[in-house]
A and B are shown apart, each in its own frame.
Chain A
Amino acid sequence: AQTVTQSQPEMSVQEAETVTLSCTYDTSESDYYLFWYKQPPSRQMILVIRQEAYKQQNATENRFSVNFQKAAKSFSLKISDSQLGDAAMYFCAYRSGSSGSRLTFGEGTQLTVNP
């Protein structure tokens, strides 16, 4: 079974600075997808960024980028130029490429952005 681990329960960053959230996963599969979701106080689950395992190039979405290290099974999220609106719970998630739409989530990292 796949597992996802986020070892940082809480992180904080100053506004306009850069922060990196860590995520590691364990799988024996070669075909899979990785995601970062943001959950603000509204509880809405918002997809931030996704990465296909077969792609070597790291995904980027505006101020959000990932560092995908397939051999190390690491998938960190970098938020550049942090904004107050980035404050939220962030979840890393794994999805198998062969067994459907089920997501396996990490424990979450609560990000605080200080003005």
Chain B
Amino acid sequence: EAQVTQNPRYLITVTGKKLTVTCSQNMNHEYMSWYRQDPGLGLRQIYYSMNVEVTDKGDVPEGYKVSRKEKRNFPLILESPSPNQTSLYFCASSLSPGGGLNEKLFFGSGTQLSVL
């Protein structure tokens, strides 16, 4: 089944404790991205990747890191989480970065992160 898999679904941590949220897709997609969802703000893009070893900042990259060593994986890293990073996180992927006419964005099931 074609899917984007995020783990974990829920995570509670404490300020300053490094964490990684994993994202994997099995569709050979070139484009992958991370969004965070906050009440009243909708979803905002954190980072995106056009292909292996190619990553770039989105709208709200501060406090986050990503890597794209393999095509299928795009982990989100919080080196020193803070309470303002408490949010619902989504990974998404699409076949190509070009955003063609029939390009569809596939979303993971989300990771609810709480930073105490």
Contact = CB atoms under 8 A, between A and B. Distances in A.
Check if A and B associate. Answer: yes
Interface of A: 4, 6, 9, 33, 42-45, 47, 52, 91, 93, 95-103, 105-108
Contacts of B35: 103, 105
A103 B88 CA distance: 17
A101 B33 contact: yes
Interface of B: 31, 33, 35, 40-45, 48, 50, 58, 88, 90, 92, 94, 96-99, 101, 103-105, 107, 109-110, 112
Nearest to A99: B99
A52 B97 CA distance: 18
5 contacts: A43-B112, A45-B92, A52-B101, A95-B99, A100-B31
Contacts of A95: 99
A101 B94 contact: yes
A100 B97 contact: yes
Given A43-B109, A43-B112, A107-B42, 4 more contacts: A44-B110, A52-B101, A100-B97, A108-B42
B40 A103 contact: no
Given A43-B88, A45-B90, A100 B42 contact: no
B41 to A, nearest CB: 6
